[in-house]
Structures are given as C-alpha cells and as structure tokens.
Structure 1
Amino acid sequence: EIIKKFNAEGYKTRAGREWTNTVLYYMLTNETYTGMTVFNGYRYWDSKGGKEQKAIRVEGTHEALVTREQFEKARQVLKERGFTVTHPRAVASDYLLSCILYCGLCNAKMLGTTAKGGQFVYYGCQNYLKKGRQACAAGLVGRDRLEGAVIDTLKDDVLTDANLTELVHLINEEANLSRGTSAKRLGETDTQLKALNGRLDKLYVALETGHVDMADLGPRIKALRAQIETAEARKREISAEETTPLKFGGTQVRRAVEDMRELLSDGTTLERKSRIRGWLSRIEVDTKRGGTVYYKMPPWIQKAMGRPTTGGPGRSVLSIDQIGCVHTSWGLD
C-alpha cells in the first residue's frame, strides 16, 4: 500500500525512479536512519544474521530519523510477515526451474521467494514481487507443487517405454540412412590407399636402383606405412559398420526409462536441473489458467513423442490442478 500510494502521488526515489518493494525494504532495514554508520556492512539485511556479524557499527554519527526501537520493530515485522526475493543465480541449488520460468501474464521472469520466515517457498513474477499487483496481477505459486508438476509432465509425456522404443527405432533409421554413405567413404578410402601404395612403390624402386640411400628414404617409407595403416584401419571400421546390426532391446529401453525417471525424482539438484534444461526451453505460468511447458528437443525426438515438429516448439499444458492454488503474498498489495 505504501508503494502504491507513493507511485500514485508521483513520488520518486533518489534515482528518479518509481518505488519498488526492493527500495522500500532497503530503507526499512537500513541502520543509517537510526543515526548509526556501518562500515564493512551489507546493503541488505540478512534475516539469519550471518552477514551482520561482519559489519562494524558506530552509533551517534548523525541525527537519527527513527528510534532504535522503531527500527527493530519494523525489522521484526518484516521477518515475520514479509518475503525474501532471491535472484535465480543465488538459489542455483534450490530452484529447479530458475531461468526458464516466465510469467504468463506479463512475460517477466519468475523468481524464487520465501514467506513467513522461510516456512513457505514459492515462485513469483518479478514484476509482482518488486512492484506489487498494480504491475502484474499474478500471485505466488508453490515451488514444490510446480516443480513436481513439471517433472510429472516430463515423465508422462517423454519418459515412457513407448516413446523411447520409438526413439530407438528412429535412431536406428537415422543410422541406417547414414550407412548409405558408406560406399562413398569406402571408395574415398580405397583411392587414398591406392595413392599411398603407389608412392611407397616408387620409393622402393628408387631404393632398389641405388639412386637414393636408405638413410634418406627410411623416414619417408616409415611415414607412408603409418598413413597406410591408418587408412586400412578406417576401411575396416567402415566395413564393420555395414555388417554390424544395431540392437537395442526392450529390457534396455525400460532400464533407461527407469534410470531417467529415478534421476528426475531423486538425483541431485544439479543433475535434475541439467536434465530439465536439456529437454525444456521455457515454462510459462498463468496463475489463473495454468501453464505451458515448451520443449527444445530436436524435431526427430519430438517426432518420437508424437509432438508437432513444425509451427513452433512442441509443448505440454499444465492445469491449475497440477500447479496448485495461487497464493497472494504478504505486504505486496
């Protein structure tokens, strides 16, 4: 309400900008207004007190605008009723969807935030968190519920036996198509071998006729033999590809599905985040209607999933029932 009133009446910050929750919270937690000067301090108060211990405080350096009691009371209220907005980079170990989660109403990024002294953890629209409901009407979405919905969607839409079996089939098709170029590669290798053997024969002739000493030809003969061996090994590999069947059975498919499902559920945060970002390019959450998950997998993988490969990225829809109810935050409206 304070921010809304300031902005409605045209008040600006010292930098000439509109008021935001961040600016107001900084003022309410800045000890300078109590007549104290802080050295080696931090701009933002840490509710756990970890950062406060490093600061050096000198009281009475200038006139106080508020009493110490008023300051401490305001800070305690913020701690009990307020929220903490956290930049995605600072919560890399806690928020799986940071950097790919966007507000479906205003297209701003959604940030991690906690309320009630850290008892509740949410994702919230950046504009809503910093400027209030007048900037964006979105609410807060429970972190665990939303992340669980996204993971369940990946399991249901991507990590299925049927999808991976079809994926293996497509991989085999791609591999078999690539084998069609084997004849060309074999021909190129044969041509190279013919040229190398011809050069080697000329050196042997020169050696037999006595026109060149062995000391001069030895290194060149050795180098040519090495090139011939390399070309022959490449020829054997190409021939083996032609005759070796590609096999990936149902048991292997099911094991791969189970392993990836287990990783999404029980892997480390870094592993889970890496996998999610490998499959998804963007998640949009409209807190009144649900959400949309956008895939960034190659078209041939989306084909295996039965997703459209033209007209934009493949996507899945999240319902309100999946992401949970929307919460209004404390002190933002």
Structure 2
Amino acid sequence: KGKNNGGGIPLGYLLDKQTQKLVVDPETAPLVVEIFERYSEGATVRSIIEDFNSRGLTTKRGKPFNTNSFNALLKNRKYIGEYSYQDVVIPGGVPAIVPEDLFYRVQQRMEKNKRAPAHSKVKESEFLLTTKLFCGKCERMMVGESGKSHTGAMHYYYKCGNAKRKKGCNKKAVKKDWIERAIVRLTMERVLNEEKINRIIDALLAMQEREDVTIPALRRQLAETEKGIENMLNAIQQGIFTASTKQRLEELEKQKEELSLSMTTAELQKPKLTREYMEHWFSQFRYGDPNDREFQKRLIDTFVNAIFVYDDKLVLTYNYQHGTQTITLKEVEDFLGSDLVGLSPPHKNRDFDTLIRSHGSYFCAVIFRITVRVDACTHIISNQLRNAVYNRK
C-alpha cells in the first residue's frame, strides 16, 4: 500500500529502498513549495524557470527546467499526499509536501490562465489602483476610464462610480498618471524609510516568537517516544522479550517514524527569518525605480491598502498597523516637483541577492498576513510568509 509503482520519482521526494515508498527529500522539498508559492503569488512559469535555471537547479533527471516539467509538477497531486495507481486513489498514501489550500489556489490560477493567458508586462494603460482608490465624498470605489481628445490622443482617468452613473456625487475625475505617480512616490518617501521599516520588522520578529505550539509539542512527543524505545531495548537486553514486547517496540518505532516526518514537514513550513534578511528584502522597494511600471505595480500591491481622494487632500491607508496618513493636494504637488529618480542602492551582497531571488515571494507572503483590524480600514501586514517558500539552510 503506497509503494512506488515504478514511475519516476517526483522532485521533492526520495525512494526508501527498504519500504519502496516515497519519503520527503529535505533538500529539494523546499524547492517544490517555492514553485507553488511563487506561482500562486503571481509569478509566471517562465520567470520561475529562468530563475531556477540561473541558479543551476535541475529536474530530478538532472536536466534544466522547462515549461512542460513545471506544468506537470504544478498538477502533480502527490504533493498533497495522494497516491494513485491505475484507477485506485489513496489520500494520504504518500507524505504531502504542499498544503492543500496552496495546491488548489495554483490549480485555479492555472485554469484561469488557460482560459485567458495573462500578459507578462504591465501595460502603460493598466490601472494600478483598481480596488484601492475611493471617492472621499461618497466613499464609492473609483474606476478607470479612458477617452480620446480632439487630437485623437488617449487620456486615462479614475472616476467615482456614483459620479459616473450620476447618482448624486459630483467628484471630478482624477488623472491616472498623476495619482499613480503620487502614490508611488509618497509610499517610497513615507513608508519605506528607516523608522517605519524597523517598526514593521520588529512586529514581524515578535510574531515569529509567538509561533504556535505544534513544533514544540511534536518535539516533546518524539523525545518521549525515543525514551520509550530506549526502555524497551533495555528490557530486551535484560532478557525480557515477549510477543507483547516485540509488538510494543514495533509500535514505538512506527510512531517515531511518523513523528519525525511530521516534525520535518512542520519545520519546513515554519522557517525563521532574520532581521538582516528582512532589511535586505525591503531594500528592493526602497531603492527601486519609481518610473518602472513593473516596480510601481509591485509596490502598490504590496504596501497600499486604500486611498480616499478628496477635493483638497488624500487619505492613504497602508498595510501596517496605524498606517493611515493624510496629505493635502498642495503638499502632493510640491512633493512631485522633485526629480522622479530612485535613491542609489546600497552595496550589493551577492548571497542576499540570491536569497531574494529564491525567496522573494516567500518573504512577501510573511509580510502580508499579520492582519490587524484597527478601525474601518483593514491594516494588513500579513504572515502569508507562513505558507510560502522554505528557507533553505
């Protein structure tokens, strides 16, 4: 039951020659979860393949990754513990590597992309503040719209949904380029500064210290089981060997194996991040190019929760506790008078650059699920990082 049926060994597993069953490979299992997490967070298959191949990583057969091998991996139900042979499917027949919720998020995205393939580049006409921009007068979501001038040039705006439908709101439309540029620059200036970053990192480090009790509990159970095995072996050495002794020893050995596997899986899913790693992750935003559309989208998606647009001010809510700020339009205009040039990046650390490429989406996930509802706005800096890529030793 659950023995390998002669097919290839998937990435993330090894074959136990004694039992002929698949076991988790602690060296490559983290790569599997990295692939699933990065894809679920929005990375394209092509970008992950290019990254893996640039890092010298290979398939189980020692070959470079390609689209076919990645698609097959993302659809492989062994990763959620399903063993199948011909028409027989046994849930839990192999050790799971990927959480079920993550696996099914990936399947949904693959199906969606199959029906409507996504564009790999962020278009200039894409409205980056969709679902985040609200009318300050009526609190209705502002939606993107476009129109041609008498010269034939295209112009893009955000307009209040009620004003657009003439439902009692007279809020004027806001130029798309102006508001997006303002939000990007304000976020880089007001959130990605040393004081705010340190505060967020402190919260994340504190969160890691409040981990659930799963791993300590498993560790205690494993220690107790090993102690039981030791006692049984001592009894056997003293000549106490009966059918009951043998049965109990076999039960303890099996329990030890199951606990060891559970603890390995739990530790893979609960990696620890250092302050230094977090600081380096933030630097990719702090020193990014504010004129780059891909960077603008990533920055907005990562840090901006909501923007309320009034006639004389903006109220911005960011994804961290007490992250609401008010700024007048006069201040915005004065601020945008400065050159739109990114800050100079710090000296690069190659080891950290590799970590960022490997685990960027993983860290992004940790940041975005410490959810704290403080008032009508939701302040989110979350621990999705907990469902993400494993930190390789």
- Per the normalisation by structure 2, the TM-score is 0.40
- Per the normalisation by structure 1, the TM-score is 0.47
The structure with the largest alpha-carbon Rg is 1
Greater helix fraction, Structure 1 or Structure 2: 1
